[in-house]
Structure 1
Amino acid sequence: MRFSRTTLGGLVLVASATPAFAQETAPPPAVTINGTAALVSDYRFRGVSQTDRNAAVQGSITVTHESGFYVSVWGSSVDNYVTVAGTGHQEIDLIGGYKKVVGGTTFDVGALYYVYPKTHPAGDTSSSDFLEPYADISHTFGPLTSKVTVNYAFKQKALTLDQGASGLLRKRDNVYLAGDFSAGIPKTPLGLIAHVGHSFGPSWLATDSTGKKGYTDWALGATATYKVLTLGVSYVDTDARFVSGGGRNVSKGGVVASLGVAF
């Protein structure tokens, strides 16, 4: 997510599956393990393509304790322009947090560590990996679920604009504020989703090629679920202009499709 979760970007599928051997009367286990795998036509992070508007393979595994604590690993293929050195083709997100439901409202706090393996040749002192704490609150009103999320990446080398090339390393921070909405259509496997977010800069997470110190992204989409499979289609757009190494505007609006499985 270098151009800068959960996140409508790329229609990342987050779902849980109940083991087939579980009985309705059996007490819930103290620890549950869930996973997802997905193929997306374009991996969008905060509206900006991380794959030069090409397809990506993604997957995750999450371990949750009954207390509310959880750890998760999520990964995706990316294009090499996503990293500072421009040599990596993989993103791995290490996530840890705590989730609590109070009166129908869910509180979730934690941190994501974005890792880009094998991105730096010998002698390269630039940085791509960074840590981003987050907090969100969600509530369900009948078929509608709304969520507000704030991510704060404190000042880190990976967010600098010049990586110290000028000899003056100016560490940057970034705030991302977003609202997500989803609604299930009664008596159907269909759902509707909407998202709007704003990145505050300047940093690698929010400054585009026009020099804007921040930008807004949004998306509208629909999902269809059959057993453990989910098909998603959305339109994703931004008011930014990010140009990849190949000269493509990877923040331009477009349709993103995904097919995922939860287990």
Structure 2
Amino acid sequence: MRRLIIFAALLATTSAASAADLSLKAPASPAPAPFEPWDIAFGSGIVSDYIFRGVTQSNHQPSVTAYFEPRYNVTKDLQLYVGTSAESIDYANRAAAEVDVYGGIRPTFGAFALDFGVWGYLYPGGSCTDNVLTGGIPGGNVCPVSTSTIFLADGNVMKKDVSFFEVYGKANYTVNDSWQVGVTEFYTPSFLNSGAWGDYASITAKYTAPGNLFGKSGVGMYVSGEFGRQWLGTTDAFYGTGPGTLFAGGIPYASYNTWNIGIGFTYKVFTLDIRYSDTDLSKGNCNAFTSAFNATGTTNVTPINPGGAGSNWCGAAGIVKLSADLTAMTSLK
């Protein structure tokens, strides 16, 4: 009996020691990842046609783009951001490029993601475009905003400085892992510095295919679309149709609807987007709105386009875009 008691005591001591040893060797629980308030998003792309709200900004030619966007996450549900981007364009005033500067705030509330901010569109390097000749020398006349001018054979005019800004709001709702829907709203007191106010509103939808659609290839796919309306006011006198005419003080631009739908494929940081875009603007009203430098014809007469020249800058277009988008905190790790 005495030996049995001693054996039991030794067994208990050994078990306790083994348990203590095991507890010392057990891996510690991983510490929670530190909150990273700062991040930077950046990327670039090439597109077959730079379309903005249904209207080409590159004369239906390819365009390149790049952006840089520092972000500060106040909390996991509140982000502040500023950014800049640049796009190659082809405008009647021969501006060198479109340079955008913007900033805003992005709060999230569960499935709702909001975005509010200000967006500035800058067009450096432009020249005043006027259809009036002085001394028979193209470019020798004086425009209201510049003495540097270009003569356009189609009679269109465009200011040297068409820079402007918009205030905007966006809301996006994630229905589930596959579906997202959203609305957007943009307003400016002077679209393209024309003197005409502009208001753009749209609805959007996006379907993201299951991640295993293409097996383990890492390729993703989505389908997305947008329907929007661009409301426009009346320009200042620079864009008027001449003294004594109906619109001597400015042109009441035609408001229009625009829509697009497309399919995209993603792989790591790359996206290939193939899209169709269109508007309901007539060629005549499109000419009055865009001041296209290559408008042709005389039969596209509208109340705001008495000369009859027409432009295809607002019609149906197919768009192919290849882009790369990265963030410093995830893509570069």
TM range, smaller chain: 0.7 to 0.9
Structure 1 residues 158 and 193: CA distance shift in structure 2, 3 A: closer
* Aligned match for 1:218, one of 255, 259, 263: 259
CA contact 2:191–2:197 (8 Å) conserved in 1: no
1:180 partnered with 2:209: no
Unaligned runs of 5+ in 1: 1-23, 161-170
Structure 1 residues 174 and 91: CA distance shift in structure 2, 3 A: same
1:147 partnered with 2:182: yes
Divergent runs of 4+, >4 A: none
CA contact 1:126–1:158 (8 Å) conserved in 2: no
- Equivalent residue of 2:321, what SS? strand
**Greater share of helix:** 2
Structure 2 partner of 1:252: 315
**Greater share of strand:** 1
- Alignment of structure 1 residues 232-247 onto 2, 5 Å: 232-240=273-281, 241=283, 242-243=286-287, 244-247=292-295
Bigger Rg, which one: 2
How far apart, CA to CA, are the structure 2 residues paired with 1:199 and 1:108? 20
Structure 1 residues 87 and 229: CA distance shift in structure 2, 3 A: same
Q: Following TM superposition, by how much is the alpha carbon of 1:25 offset from its aligned partner in structure 2, in angstroms?
A: 5.5
Q: Following TM superposition, by how much is the alpha carbon of 1:202 offset from its aligned partner in structure 2, in angstroms?
A: 2.5
How far apart, CA to CA, are the structure 2 residues paired with 1:231 and 1:219? 16
Structure 1 partner of 2:116: 109
Normalised by the length of structure 2, the TM-score is 0.62
- Alignment of structure 1 residues 48-127 onto 2, 5 Å: 48-67=55-74, 68-81=79-92, 86-120=93-127, 123=147, 126-127=160-161
How far apart, CA to CA, are the structure 2 residues paired with 1:99 and 1:72? 13
Deviations for 1:193-239, whole angstroms, at most 9, x for unmatched residues? 101110001257xx9xx976200110110000011110010110000
Structure 1 residues 212 and 239: CA distance shift in structure 2, 3 A: farther
Letter in 2 for 1:229: F
How far apart, CA to CA, are the structure 1 residues paired with 2:275 and 2:293? 25
Structure 1 partner of 2:140: none
* Aligned match for 1:201, one of 216, 232, 239: 232
Structure 1 partner of 2:152: none
Q: Following TM superposition, by how much is the alpha carbon of 1:119 offset from its aligned partner in structure 2, in angstroms?
A: 1.2
How far apart, CA to CA, are the structure 1 residues paired with 2:183 and 2:315? 25
Letter in 1 for 2:88: S
* Aligned match for 2:268, one of 206, 213, 227: 227
Q: Following TM superposition, by how much is the alpha carbon of 1:118 offset from its aligned partner in structure 2, in angstroms?
A: 1.3
Structure 1 residues 220 and 180: CA distance shift in structure 2, 3 A: same
Deviations for 1:136-192, whole angstroms, at most 9, x for unmatched residues? 1111011111110100102x38443xxxxxxxxxx3311100111111011331100
How far apart, CA to CA, are the structure 2 residues paired with 1:151 and 1:119? 25
How far apart, CA to CA, are the structure 2 residues paired with 1:213 and 1:202? 8
Percentage identity across paired residues of the two chains: 24
How far apart, CA to CA, are the structure 1 residues paired with 2:109 and 2:124? 38
The number of residues matched between the two structures is 222
How far apart, CA to CA, are the structure 2 residues paired with 1:79 and 1:99? 32
CA contact 2:126–2:160 (8 Å) conserved in 1: no
- Equivalent residue of 1:80, what SS? coil
Q: Following TM superposition, by how much is the alpha carbon of 1:252 offset from its aligned partner in structure 2, in angstroms?
A: 1.1
Structure 1 residues 218 and 203: CA distance shift in structure 2, 3 A: farther
How far apart, CA to CA, are the structure 2 residues paired with 1:218 and 1:138? 18
Unaligned runs of 5+ in 2: 1-30, 129-145, 149-158, 214-219, 240-250, 296-310, 327-333
